[in-house]
Amino acid sequence: MFPPRLTRPFIASLLVVLSLAMLIAAGCGPAAPAQAPAAQPEAGMSPEELRSLVSEAVVESAPTGVTTQEVEVMVAKAVAESKPTGVTAQEVESSVAKAVAEALSTQEAERQAVMQAEQKPESIVLTDIAGRTVTIDMPVERIILGEARQIYIAAALQPGNPFNKIVGWRNDLRRFDADTYNKYMEIFPEVADIPEFGSPYSGEFSVENAIALQADVVTLNLGGLERAKEAGMIDQLAAVGIPVVVIDYRQFPLENTVPSTILLGRLFDQEERAQEIVDFYLQQVNKVYSRIEGIEKDKPTVLVDTAAGIQGAENCCRTYGRANLGLMVERAGGINIGSELVPGWSGTLNPEQIFVADPDVIIATGSNWFTYNPEGDFVSLGYFTDPADARMRLQTLGQKRPGWTELTALNQGRHHVVWHQFYNSPYNFVVLQQFAKWFYPEEFADMDPVANFAEFHDRFLPISYSGAFFVSAVE
């Protein structure tokens, strides 16, 4: 390996340090210890002469720069030829060594800055999850989240303070996932000061506020793209130079979690971290896929009871078609009854359809919705949940639903509830694992979704794992 080279500006600085060191040592330094009278040393080279000698050597060196090795040779030669009173060769060499080290450090820092500036483009062109081509000016420093719950991935991608680039978001995290909102508030109280925007899907989003906040980009969920277009939001933002990037952790989470994470990694200039998250995610989902293929048992029929009890136990029952958690059921080895009964992304079943299907497993979704409806019969799950309380609320919900105590799932102790927010986050690998564990308890007896979710927190999130994110009516 060739020794590092010093450019002439640094050599000039080195020469100044060298001369000052000699002057200090010769005239202003501490007095030498008293010694017996000795013969007066022969008059040596003055500091000016020494500096001139080294300068001459530098001029004669290679035009592209001077190596530290060459400097050492020059200094050694100059010191050997000089005999300045009170200056030792060691003192001169020490001063020069320090100057060389400082010069190299400064030079390397400037070189790295230049390289980074040359490598990073002023803008990048992305293809988002909707297939739209979007040009983004870099670096992105001010982001508006079309949904605040996109912080699930934004926080994972930004170590340290996940909110330092978030200048606005919807109010959905505070209203529909109060546990996560409060968990972050404990560490980052500035969350309360983030401006809240209206829905991008209903014409409530304020383009004027986005301009006032000098937003660089707005992120949007795939499921709301068409409504945002109809509301005029996309065109209005484009007219003022604010691009929209579409991601998806909701409609087709198992297909789009990886590309959405890679996409946001580029947006946040965190491509390496995005790849780490993707690698972890694929390891977790493959733990299920690799086993499901070898299971030959009859598949259980499953009802996903979406946001169960949020409007009261008597309001039943929204579920998913072949999308979102409905698709998760199928990938975990179950038969989602909504895939046959609901033609679209989601829909509402009538009680008769549920009694006819008589599913083997019923899985409700729940969250801390007390802010939204304090009188609801939902099951609260999240970072501050007591599992015993969640189990009691799930049992009560099953008893309040007319006729449900006669269903197979409740009679066989296969009534469960999962955290609702799994449906719209990069954490969906957790619910995939838990579904598989409920469907095939023997084959997945060693699967530990709680430990895997806790590991995700430890590796990628600024908040710690706590609370409960799924329980069963029968412990």
Q: Does the pLDDT value for residue 23 go beyond 50?
A: no
User: 303 is written with which tokens?
Assistant: 């009802």
Between the CA of residue 436 and those of 300, 410, 440, what are the distances in Å? 11, 18, 6
Interval 196-210 mean pLDDT:
86
How far apart (Å, rounded) are the C-alpha atoms in residues 79 and 95?
Answer: 12
Residue-wise pLDDT for 58-76, tens only, equals 555 544 556 666 666 666 6
Q: Does the pLDDT value for residue 19 go beyond 60?
A: no
How far apart (Å, rounded) are the C-alpha atoms in residues 419 and 406?
Answer: 25
Please give the residue that has the higher pLDDT: either 109 or 284.
Answer: 284
Sheet of 335-336: strand order equals 335-336, 301-305, 361-366, 415-419, 470-472
Assigned fold of 298-472 = Rossmann fold (3.40.50)
Q: Which pLDDT score, from 0 to 100, does residue 201 have?
A: 77
How far apart (Å, rounded) are the C-alpha atoms in residues 368 and 388?
Answer: 15
Interval 416-439 mean pLDDT:
97
| 415-419 and 361-366 beta bridge pairing | parallel
Q: How confident is the model at residue 50 (pLDDT cuts 50, 70, 90)?
A: low
Q: Which pLDDT score, from 0 to 100, does residue 84 have?
A: 53
Residue-wise pLDDT for 313-355, tens only, equals 999 999 999 999 999 999 999 999 999 999 888 999 999 999 9
Which one, of 326, 328, 346, 350, lies nearest residue 336 by Cα? 326
Interval 282-304 mean pLDDT:
96
Interval 129-139 mean pLDDT:
96
Q: How confident is the model at residue 475 (pLDDT cuts 50, 70, 90)?
A: confident
Query: Does the fold of domain 298-472 match that of domain 123-269?
Result: yes
- How much is the mean pLDDT over the chain? 85
Query: Which stretch of 51-60, 107-116, 425-434 has the lowest confidence by average pLDDT?
Result: 51-60
Which one, of 250, 248, 252, 258, lies nearest residue 282 by Cα? 258
In percent, the amount of the chain with pLDDT more than 70 equals: 76
CB-neighbour burial class of residue 184 (10 A; exposed 0-12, middle 13-18, buried 19+): buried
Q: Which pLDDT score, from 0 to 100, does residue 292 have?
A: 94
Q: Does domain 123-269 have CATH number 3.30.2130.10?
A: no
Residue 3 has, within 13 A of its CA and on its CB side, a CA count of 14
Q: Does the pLDDT value for residue 31 go beyond 80?
A: no
How far apart (Å, rounded) are the C-alpha atoms in residues 144 and 147?
Answer: 9
- Give one DSSP letter per residue of 69-137, joined into a string: HHHHHHHHHHHHH---TT--HHHHHHHHHHHHHHHHHHHHHHHHHHHHHHHS-SEEEEE-TTS-EEEEE
User: 456 is written with which tokens?
Assistant: 């995700």
- Sequence ranges of the domains in the chain: 5-119, 123-269, 298-472
Q: How confident is the model at residue 406 (pLDDT cuts 50, 70, 90)?
A: very high
Query: Which stretch of 109-118, 206-215, 402-411 has the lowest confidence by average pLDDT?
Result: 109-118
Residue 368 CB coordination number (10 Å): 25
- Under DSSP, the state recorded for 27 is I
What residues pair up with 366 in beta bridges, in sequence order? 419
Interval 179-189 mean pLDDT:
97
User: 76 is written with which tokens?
Assistant: 């050694």
Query: Which stretch of 218-227, 403-412, 450-459 has the lowest confidence by average pLDDT?
Result: 218-227
Residue 266 CB coordination number (10 Å): 16
